Amino acid sequence: MIRLHHAHQTRSMRVLWLLNEMGVEFETMIHAFGKNLRGPDYLALNPAGRVPALEIDGKVLFESGAIIEYLCEAFPETGLGRAAGDAERADWLVWVHFAETMAQHVAALTQQHVALYDDEMRSPIVMKLEAARLDKCYAALNGRLARRDYLLDSGFSAADVACGYSVYSGSHYAKPDPYPALMDWYGRLRERPAFQASLPPESERIYKKDFYPVPA
């Protein structure tokens, strides 16, 4: 039995997308974005009170990067991981975890633009800095993708899922449009049925706008 604890448009979307790519049977427990994850029942699954948490084979895993690695090892036949000893293992690990570098900037921007409801609580300086840092991450991805269709020479993998989610969420705050190789790659990812299946209903999105500009 595989059960994913998920909140729409958060880091758990990486895992939801990956499970959809794998075509394995699983169930999804949807949680609202907010403080409802701080209850004792959920904290027993993820002590940080965040998503994702994954129940699998009598174990509970948290941290999306660790879950991605575990699932790829548990289902090697899907071809979405790169096993120890594989020539692309190091590159796969780097890009799976580079996704978290981007996600940290996205989380800071989400706090500023979405979670802080009063303008006086927000910092335009933080917004500008984090958007600029996210843009640098886009540039790094664009450089990697300049001569490739996907992040690895051998083709699509969980590294594309991990970084693809971070671009999806980050594009609400910093536009990736100036980076042609990145945009071509992201366009291919968005067309994947597993990505489409991981998107929330319009009424349940935490991003109420397509784009949140940095204040002038």
At 153, the pLDDT band (50, 70, 90 cuts) reads: very high
| Arithmetic mean of pLDDT, 70-80 | 98
Q: Which of 179, 137, 130 is nearest to 162 (CA)?
A: 137
| Arithmetic mean of pLDDT, 165-192 | 98
| Arithmetic mean of pLDDT, 107-124 | 92
CA gap 176, 179 in Å, rounded = 6
DSSP element (H, E) containing 61? strand 59-62
Does the pLDDT value for residue 105 go beyond 70?
Answer: yes
pTM of the model: 0.96
Domains of the chain: 2-78 (3.40.30.10), 89-192 (1.20.1050.10)
Whether the CA torsion 16, 81, 70, 162 is positive or negative: it is negative
Does the pLDDT value for residue 92 go beyond 80?
Answer: yes
Q: Which residues, in sequence order, are CB contacts of 40 under 8 Å at separation 6+?
A: none
User: Facing residues of 6 across strands?
Assistant: 30
